[in-house]
Amino acid sequence: MKKLSLLFLIAAQPAFAATGPFFSLWNTNFIVMLAFLLFVGLVLYAKVPGTLGKMLDKRSGNIRSDLDEARRLREEAQSVLASYERKAREVQGQADQIIAAAKRDAEAMAEKAREDLQVSIARRLKAAEEQIASAEAQAVRDVKHRAVSVAVAAAGDVLAKQFTAKDRAALIDASLGEVASRFN
């Protein structure tokens, strides 16, 4: 109660500065002080400080729950972010493996293409050598045939000049006999 009287005394200080008797209904300072005290009394009677305290407590509880919810959401977002970062690292690792595998496959394909090209070149060289050998053999046969036909023609000319008609007839008869004996 002492605190309340001290409060009234401090609140009433400006009222003592007014002119005339203080405790008069004609003194506006006294009326203002009475209205103020009545107002404070009504506020205390209506338990407004308790209600305000409860409202502030409720509001602080709401703010606390909002902060807890925000903290929980932040932690959840951090875990989701960590999960996505981990998945991104895994995907990057897989992409690196795919790129490395593609490079290895490309190198293997290039090496196989080189080998196939070498085999193809060797095959074509062999075919060309065989064609050259075949053409060479054909040329040798043609030259031999030509030489034989020239030799036969030359021998025919020489024999025609050396043999008489009688010798030729005897030679033809001997050849025909030899052919007949071989076919039988």
pLDDT in the model for residue 7: 60
Query: Could you tell me if residue 28 is inside a domain?
Result: no
Residue 73: is its pLDDT beyond 80? yes
Is 70 exceeded by the pLDDT of residue 161?
A: yes
Query: Residue 156 domain-assigned?
Result: yes
The whole-angstrom separation of Cα 22 and Cα 30 is: 6
For Cα atoms 28, 31, 32, give the angle at the middle one, nearest 5 degrees.
Answer: 85
What is the crossing angle of helices 2-12 and 28-45, to 10°?
A: 150
Crossing angle for the helix pair 48-162 and 28-45, nearest 10 degrees?
Answer: 60
| Total number of domains in the chain | 1
- Which pLDDT band holds residue 87 (cuts at 50, 70, 90)? very high
Compute the mean pLDDT over every residue in the chain, rounded to the nearest whole number. 84
What domain range is 151 assigned to? 144-183
Contact (CB, 8 A) for 18 and 27: yes
Residue 170 lies in a domain: yes
Write the DSSP assignment of 58-102 as a string of letters. HHHHHHHHHHHHHHHHHHHHHHHHHHHHHHHHHHHHHHHHHHHHH
More confident residue, 18 or 152: 152
pLDDT tens for 91-139 read 999 999 999 999 999 999 999 999 999 999 999 998 988 999 888 888 8
Q: Is 20 helix (H, G, I), strand (E, B) or coil?
A: coil
Q: What integer pLDDT is reported at residue 99 of this predicted model?
A: 95
- Residue 153 belongs to a domain: yes
Domain membership of residue 67 (yes or no) is no
Tell me the mean pLDDT in the region 1-12.
59
Residue 26 pLDDT > 90, yes or no?
A: no
pLDDT band at 177 (very low <50, low <70, confident <90, very high): confident
Contacts of 175 (CB under 8 A, 6+ apart): none
pLDDT at residue 167 tops 80: no
Which of 50-53's residues contact partners 24+ apart within 8 Å by CB, and which partners? none
